[in-house]
Chain A
Amino acid sequence: MGMHEVDELYRRFGPLVFRRARTLLGDEQAASDAVQEVFMRTLRSHDGFRHEASPITWLYRITTNYCLNILRNNSRHRLRLAERMASQPDEQAATGFDPEVPLLLAEILERLPVELCEIATYYYVDCLSHDEIADVIGTSRRTVGNRLREFHEQTEALFRLDKEVLA
């Protein structure tokens, strides 16, 4: 793939990858790094990417998986987010950007399987329909519904457990 093609892909899809990564990671620099990494992975798999009916669903999936891995494995990133929330409580009002989302995702990732967290991200953060989620992850609408139900049940169980522990 020549640089011209790379430029065109980056220009066309870079903004949406950056926007999603910023929402999921809560940080512009981390989002910039995510864009670089997502495009590098796309270029390494560019044959598969080229044959995708919807390159955007491909990019959604790669971006989500990359960002969830960062949230799960990078404790320094989570600490920076928590400190920022504490020091800038009005950030959402000022920027329209909610730092609570990545912290919530990170907390859930510590306790639930990543497959459930991925679907929950599409449903709650991206507000995708069941059909759209099925398209993104390549499964059936029924499976998406089952996974979301499972996500609810497991988070409810964790919430009850937390209450018992804290009581």
Chain B
Amino acid sequence: MNGLEAGRRRLANGCLSDLALDQLWTGESAGTPLEQSRRAHLSTCANCTRRLQEIEASAAVFRARPGGASLVGERLRARSRRRWAWSAGTALFAGAAAALLLLVRPADPLETGVRLKGAAVGLTAYVKRRSGTVEVLPEGGVAQPGDVLRFVVTPRHDGFVGVVSIDGAGEVNVYAPQGAELVSVRAGQAFSLPGGIELDPALGRERLIAFACPKPLPKATLQERVATLVRGRQALPDQPLDVGNDCVQSSLWFEKVQSR
């Protein structure tokens, strides 16, 4: 304890805490009565003035360091990609589990909002808002960074499925947990892909595509093929993407907007 108590003793009575100094030099307390009293103290206290100068000098050194905010952005995007491989143990939709069970059954695709293209695979996306509500994400719907998406795919034939997302910048991610291959599914069964993905801060239009393939396909291969098809395009592709392997697909797009 002596070491910690010594830290406390470095401040004389009435001196400003580090928090107070931080609020001063960042401008957070600007214009407040608190700012005035703190500035009044500074004008008479050499110790606090010295500490404030040291803080400002160290801030300048920090700001001159390379990387910084861009590294934060890179780590966010990397973590967003890793979330596509979320383990089946994650219970993100605990509060809406009952609702999901009602929907995870063979049903009339038009009733549940499933998107069918070629009538060979259905895709339903559910969004859990940060408020906790869970709802179907319709074609052209809106989501926000921090919302969580979960998918139900309904293949017409036995095969292997995965969901691909393409954002406005052309970045492609594949969601198909349980290993390096697409997920094996049975014909006619609505299959809820376990886990979920948390939407990253990048705004704009995104497209979700459910692929159903008759034979196993590595996720990396699917990702590369989709990325090749969208590379260089100026707008998000609306037409089906020919990824080969006799895969069929269904897609929907949504808009990721700023939080209100």
Q: Is A10 located at the chain interface by the 8 A CB criterion?
A: yes
Q: Is B178 located at the chain interface by the 8 A CB criterion?
A: no
CB of A123 within 8 A of CB of B8, answer: yes
Q: For the complex, give the distance between the alpha carbons of A64 and B238 in Å.
A: 47
CB contacts (< 8 Å) of A36 on chain B: these are 71-72, 75
Across the interface, name the chain A residue whose C-beta is closest to B259. Answer: A47
Give the contacts of B57-73 with A (CB-CB under 8 A).
58-59, 62-63, 68-73
Residue total for B at the interface (Cβ-Cβ under 8 A): 39
Q: Is A136 located at the chain interface by the 8 A CB criterion?
A: yes
CB contacts (< 8 Å) of B18 on chain A: these are 20, 126-128
Q: For the complex, give the distance between the alpha carbons of A91 and B63 in Å.
A: 24
Across the interface, name the chain B residue whose C-beta is closest to A8. Answer: B69
CB of A155 within 8 A of CB of B11, answer: no
At the interface with chain A, which of B20-28, B208-216, B245-253? Answer: B20-28
Report the minimum CB–CB distance from B244 to chain A (whole Å).
36
Q: Which of A43, A127, A132 contacts B7 (CB 8 A)?
A: A127
CB of A155 within 8 A of CB of B1, answer: yes
In the complex, 19 of the A-B residue pairs with CB atoms within 8 angstroms, ordered by the A residue number, are A1-B201, A3-B70, A3-B73, A9-B69, A10-B68, A10-B72, A14-B62, A15-B59, A16-B22, A19-B55, A39-B72, A46-B259, A56-B28, A127-B8, A127-B10, A127-B11, A127-B15, A128-B17, A155-B1
Across the interface, name the chain A residue whose C-beta is closest to B71. Answer: A36
Q: For the complex, give the distance between the alpha carbons of A104 and B3 in Å.
A: 7
Q: Is A101 located at the chain interface by the 8 A CB criterion?
A: yes
Q: For the complex, give the distance between the alpha carbons of A6 and B55 in Å.
A: 22
Residue total for A at the interface (Cβ-Cβ under 8 A): 46
Task: Say whether, besides A15-B58, A16-B22, A56-B26, A44 and B146 are in contact (CB < 8 Å).
Answer: yes
Identify the B interface with A (CB < 8 A).
Answer: 1, 3-5, 7-8, 10-11, 15, 17-20, 22-23, 26, 28, 55, 58-59, 62-63, 68-73, 75-76, 79, 130, 145-146, 198, 201, 203, 258-259
CB contacts (< 8 Å) of A104 on chain B: these are 1, 3-4
Q: Which of B62, B79, B130 contacts A18 (CB 8 A)?
A: B62
Report the minimum CB–CB distance from A165 to chain B (whole Å).
17
Give the contacts of A74-117 with B (CB-CB under 8 A).
98, 100-101, 104-105
Known: A9-B69, A43-B72, A127-B11. 14 other contacts (CB 8 A): A1-B258, A11-B68, A12-B26, A14-B62, A15-B58, A19-B58, A36-B72, A36-B75, A56-B26, A98-B3, A104-B3, A124-B4, A126-B17, A136-B19
Task: Say whether, besides A47-B146, A54-B23, A128-B19, A40 and B4 are in contact (CB < 8 Å).
Answer: no
Contact residues of A: prevailing secondary structure: helix
Q: Which of A1, A39, A55 contacts B145 (CB 8 A)?
A: A1
CB of A56 within 8 A of CB of B3, answer: no
CB contacts (< 8 Å) of B76 on chain A: these are 40, 43
Task: Say whether, besides A3-B73, A6-B73, A11 and B7 are in contact (CB < 8 Å).
Answer: no
Task: Say whether, besides A16-B26, A124-B8, A57 and B19 are in contact (CB < 8 Å).
Answer: yes
Task: Say whether, besides A10-B72, A40-B79, A43-B76, A2 and B203 are in contact (CB < 8 Å).
Answer: yes
Give the contacts of A32-72 with B (CB-CB under 8 A).
36, 39-40, 43-47, 54-57, 60
CB contacts (< 8 Å) of B258 on chain A: these are 1
CB contacts (< 8 Å) of A44 on chain B: these are 146, 198
Q: Which of A11, A43, A101, A159 contacts B4 (CB 8 A)?
A: A101
Across the interface, name the chain A residue whose C-beta is closest to B23. Answer: A56
B-contact bits for A126-167, CB 8 A (1 contact / 0 none):
111100100010000000000000000001000100000000
CB contacts (< 8 Å) of B7 on chain A: these are 98, 101, 124-125, 127
CB contacts (< 8 Å) of B259 on chain A: these are 46-47
Q: For the complex, give the distance between the alpha carbons of A26 and B201 in Å.
A: 32
Across the interface, name the chain A residue whose C-beta is closest to B4. Answer: A124
CB contacts (< 8 Å) of A47 on chain B: these are 130, 146, 259
CB contacts (< 8 Å) of A155 on chain B: these are 1
